[in-house]
Amino acid sequence: MKTSRFSLATLFAVVGIAAAPAAALAGKSNDTLVYASDSEPENVSPYHNNLREGVIIARHVFDNLIYRDPATGKYMPQLATSWTWVDPTTLDLTIRKGVTFHNGDPLTADDVVFTLNYVVSPQAKVVTKQNVDWIKSAEKIGNDKVRIHLVGPFPAAIEYLAGPVPIYPEKYFKKAGLDGFAKAPIGSGPYKITAVTPGKGVTMEKNKSYWQGSPLGQPTIGKLVFRVVPDAETRLAELMTGGVDWIWRVPKDQATQLKSAPNITVLSAETMRVGFLQFDALGRTPAAVPFKDARVRQAVSYAIDRKAMIDNLVGGSARIMNSACFIDQFGCTDKGVPRYDYNPAKAKELLKEAGYPNGFKTEIYAYREREYAEAVIGYLRAVGIDAHLNYLKYAAMRDANRAGKAPITFYTWGSFSVADASAFTGVWFKGNADDSSHDAEVQKLLKEADTSVDTNRRLKIYQEALKLIAEKAYLFPLFSYPANYAFTSDLAFTAQPDELPRFFRAHWK
Amino acid sequence: MVSFTSQRLAVALAVALTVSIVAFLLLHLSGDLATAIAGPEATATQIAEIRHQFGLDRPLALQYLDWLWRALHFDFGNSFYYRDSVTSLLAVRMPVTMTLGAVSLTLSLVIAVPLGVLAAVYSGTIIDRLALGFCVLGQAVPAFCLGLGLIIVFAVQLRWLPVSGTASWKNYLLPSFALAWYAVPAVMRLSRNGMLEVLSSDYIRTARAKGLRPSVVILKHALRNAIIPVVALAAVQFGFMLGGSIVIEAVFNMQGLGYLAWEAIARNDFPVVQAVVLILALIYVALTFLADVANAFLDPRIRLA
């Protein structure tokens, strides 16, 4: 008996009961807004992740050069007080004085020049390449003047500067390095990061000395906590019990239920996010070989009933998309673009023509809304295609796709909230890492559309490119995503279609 | 005793070594390591550079020895996903899983042993039947189902306990219970059988004949002997709990080892998977060894056989 007690005691001694820190409580009474989402960015540095959760953090912690008013679409000064086009490939900006980073360092033209030159350098290994690869270089041309040289004419440059191009502190970044910066990022935005805990989330605190006159306004909520809660049921339970204050991506059925819950506000809005299937048209794996044939890609497109998916699964304000972009983006249109209305008989016919009368086996990759991916698999099975689901975290799926291992990928793309079609097509069709068709004609058209300074010409060529993409069925657009937000009724929160919750604008009632 | 212990130790070491080889190969079977480290957009020259820099161009056996040497010094390299060393990730995650396992084990012993004794003492009665029924239920209900059920009842409806996370000791109660639930049947059955066997033995009859009170006979004379196999089982169950907490950690959003392993698998973060596999396996090996030795110490028949 003595011995058995001894062995148990040893076990517990080895184990050691971890002393748990006191809980950080959510809610109005603590002036702490806890928001939960399913995924966490691989790296908090905004240029080193392409996850929506990362975009949200970026907009709270960093400042952009230019601000776009989400209500009017007008561009307003943010860090740049003014800007002028010298010629279609040269942009001059005047940098605001008196802005400081969270560590007290002043934000100057040098920081802007450093950031822009750093993110286009190969050693920066940015993963959001499409957001910055229009920049050739930046130089300081005066005390507070910065000149950006473009690779070529790029009319959407202002839109990008107003979005996914935040400004970094040169001195701090050089000292900390990317690894240090990822653990303790410093920006100049309305919130400053106090802790980054892998697997758990990020805590932020109101920047009390945020510069006056910012178009973002002054933040009012004292603390922001981003919590990673991968399980949807757990997120819901946390919201109902006040463990978190704000959740989104609430499935349709849960949102309906939640509407009757007391003290919880449910908000539904369409977003710029588009769900789509990308095919490995290059046929880089044996399972992807059939997709080299346009008829097979078209067959898949005909096989899927998007309307039924919206009615039964997606709900809300989702719209069917027919072009490889979000319909309200500048340059995006579905006029004259071929449509693939649900027609399983035609799908089977096309498969037969392509030499697959009995279908084939393949792989599908997905990273979110597993139920949508499963619905797609069901539709494919109905026409004889047996697709096996690989459900991965975003970065792993992206890397598998970039390595050519994914015959079909169920992607969603929110265009980094950039209201220009180039933010969509530029990622998937311009020969970058995520392009799995490498169609020279499409690339040529897009190159011209992206760089044309003539607005009408831009619109016309985008239309041509989108038409070609749909004809070849390289990418099958499904629908725009509705966002179901659910949050405590203590919170005054408004949603924007660009899928960017602006907590710096939110306040307690 | 010494020869028995050294024998078991040799077996444990052999198993540990095998596990380390498997864990090492896991990383190398996962595809080209240099390509993975270099990232998706690296050029062939960059990949070749990394291959050389990380010593991936050396013979596999040499790489293994090098890796083993570093692993012995708790150096598992860097996570592909987080910009952090695997060791520092483990240091944060380990206490969560260990606490969860320890609390669960305590809970399961506190529930299962008395239940087993009761079932044995009242063998064949309704109490025995009820205890068995409880067992079947424990074995039949999947952990995630029980976990969600507990959340709905105790966190959402009653609001007694928090839903998820690891913020305070209260966060550990529900997941520990869900995890303990699974271990209860095995422990209970074993204590019941042990008690039944012991209760029918001669020395218990003697104790009873001496006129000792039934509670003394049961607790002091019978239980002491009946509990021996439970000690071994408890050690093994603890290993199961550490490895099996993956589902519970996911449901309760606890950033422990299991959760880390689950995420790492979904992210193709092989250095992390490798380290977790190795560590859990080693703990398991160590626990089994301890259980063997403890058993042998308690029961001479084992070490002399």
Q: Which helix (H) or strand (E) segment is A364 a member of?
A: strand A361-366
B253 contacts on A by Cβ (under 8 Å)? 228-231, 234
Which residues are CB-contacts of A139 (< 8 A; sequence separation ≥ 6)? A113, A146, A147, A149
Q: What is the pLDDT of residue A20?
A: 31
> pLDDT exceeding 70 applies to what percent of chain A?
95
Distance from C-alpha of B98 to C-alpha of B176, rounded to nearest angstrom:
11
Q: One digit per residue, pLDDT tens: chain B, 305 residues? A: 778 888 889 988 999 889 888 888 877 776 677 776 666 556 677 778 777 877 778 888 888 888 888 888 888 888 877 777 889 888 888 889 999 999 999 999 999 889 888 898 888 888 889 888 888 887 788 878 888 888 888 888 888 888 888 878 888 889 998 888 888 888 888 888 888 888 888 888 888 888 888 888 887 778 877 887 888 788 888 888 887 788 888 888 888 888 888 888 877 788 888 888 888 888 888 888 888 888 787 777 776 65
Report yes or no: A391 at the B interface, CB cutoff 8 Å: yes
Going by pLDDT thresholds of 50, 70 and 90, the confidence category of residue A354 is very high
Please answer yes or no on whether A23 and B81 come within 8 Å at the CB atom: no
Question: Residue A22: what pLDDT?
Answer: 33
Residue A508 scores a pLDDT above 80: yes
- State the pLDDT at residue A6: 36
Q: According to the model, what pLDDT value does residue B226 have? A: 82
Residues A268-319 pLDDT 10s: 888 899 999 999 999 999 999 999 999 999 999 999 999 999 998 888 789 9
What is the least distance, in Å, from the CA of A195 to any CA of chain B?
Answer: 14
Choice between B29 and A498, residue whose per-residue pLDDT is larger: A498
Contact (CB<8Å) B259/A199: yes
CA separation for the pair A454, B275 (Å, rounded): 57
Q: B218 or A17: whose pLDDT is higher?
A: B218
**Residues of chain B found within 8 Å of residue A8, distances taken between Cβ atoms:** 231, 234
Q: Smallest Cβ distance to A240: which of B81, B156, B253? A: B156
What pLDDT is recorded for position A23?
Answer: 40
CB contact B224 to A (< 8 Å): yes
Higher pLDDT, B292 or A148: A148
pLDDT of A18 over the 70 cut: no
pLDDT at position A12? 33
Query: In this predicted structure, what is the pLDDT of residue A25?
Result: 66
Query: Which residues are within 8 A (CB) of A352 and not within 5 positions of it... i.e. 6 or more apart?
Result: none
Q: With a cut of 70, say whether residue A8 has pLDDT above it.
A: no
The residue among A408 and A20 whose pLDDT is bigger is: A408
Cβ of residue B125 closer than 8 Å to a chain A Cβ: no
Mean pLDDT (chain A) is 90
> Closest chain B residue to A17 measured between Cα atoms?
B99
CB contact under 8 A, A198 and B89: yes
The string of pLDDT tens digits covering residues A27-83 is 888 899 999 998 888 889 999 987 899 999 999 999 999 999 988 888 999 999 999
Q: What is the pLDDT of residue A17?
A: 33
Of B105, B166, B290, the CB nearest to A7: B290
Q: Which residue has the tokens 């010094």?
A: B73
- Total Cβ atoms within 10 A of residue B51: 18
In which residue are the tokens 């180039």 written? A422
Chain B residues within 8 A of A433 when measuring between CB atoms: 40-41
Could you tell me if A123 and A129 are in contact, meaning their C-beta atoms sit under 8 angstroms apart?
Answer: no
- Residue A13: list chain B partners with CB under 8 A: none
- Label residue A466 by pLDDT band (50, 70, 90): very high
CA distances from A70 to A212, A217, A417 (A): 20, 14, 10
How many of the other CB atoms lie within 10 Å of CB of A175?
A: 10
Output the pLDDT for position A227.
93
Please, what's the b/e burial string for A182-212 (b: 16 or more CB within 10 A of its CB; e: otherwise)?
A: bbebbbbbbbbbeebebbbbbbbbbbeebbe
pLDDT at A16: 34
CB of A84 less than 8 A from some CB of B: no
What's the pTM value of the predicted model, to 2 decimals?
A: 0.78
Residues B95, A79: Cα–Cα separation, whole Å:
45
- In percent, the amount of chain A with pLDDT more than 90 equals 69
Per-residue pLDDT, averaged over A461-477, amounts to 95
Nearest chain B Cα to A200, which residue?
A: B255
Q: B165 and chain A: CB distance < 8 Å anywhere?
A: yes
Q: Does the structure show a pLDDT above 70 at A350?
A: yes
- In chain A, residues with a C-beta closer than 8 Å to the C-beta of B164 are 229, 231, 234, 237-238, 243
Q: What is the pLDDT of residue A21?
A: 32
B149 and chain A: CB distance < 8 Å anywhere?
no
Name B199's Cβ contacts closer than 8 Å, sequence gap at least 6.
B120, B121, B218, B222
Residue of A15, A129, A393 lying closest to B102 (CB–CB):
A15
pLDDT at B305 (0 to 100): 56
Query: Do B162 and A243 make contact, defined as CB atoms within 8 angstroms?
Result: yes
d(CA A358, CA A356): 5
Q: Which of residues 186-245 of A touch B (CB under 8 A)?
A: 197-200, 227-231, 233-234, 237-238, 240-241, 243
| B33 Cα to chain A: minimum distance (Å) | 13
b/e per residue, A284-322, with b = 16+ CB within 10 A? bbebbbbbebbbbbbbbbbbbbbeebbeebbbbbbbbbb
Report the chain A residue with the minimal C-alpha distance to residue B162.
A243
Is there a contact between B102 and A12 if contact means CB atoms under 8 Å apart?
yes
Q: Cβ-count burial of A248 within 10 angstroms (0-12 exposed, 13-18 middle, 19+ buried)?
A: buried
The arithmetic mean of pLDDT across residues A380-399, rounded, is 90
β-strand partners of A492: A507
pLDDT digits (tens, 9 = 90+) for A396-435: 888 888 888 999 999 999 888 888 999 999 999 998 888 9
Do B263 and A12 lie within an 8 Å CB cutoff?
no
pLDDT of residue B42: 64
Q: Would you give the DSSP letter of residue A148?
A: E
- What number of C-beta contacts closer than 8 Å exist between A and B? 134
Q: Is B73 on the interface with A (CB under 8 A)?
A: no
Q: Cβ of B102 and A178 within 8 Å?
A: no
Question: Do B98 and A240 count as a contact with CB atoms less than 8 A apart?
Answer: no
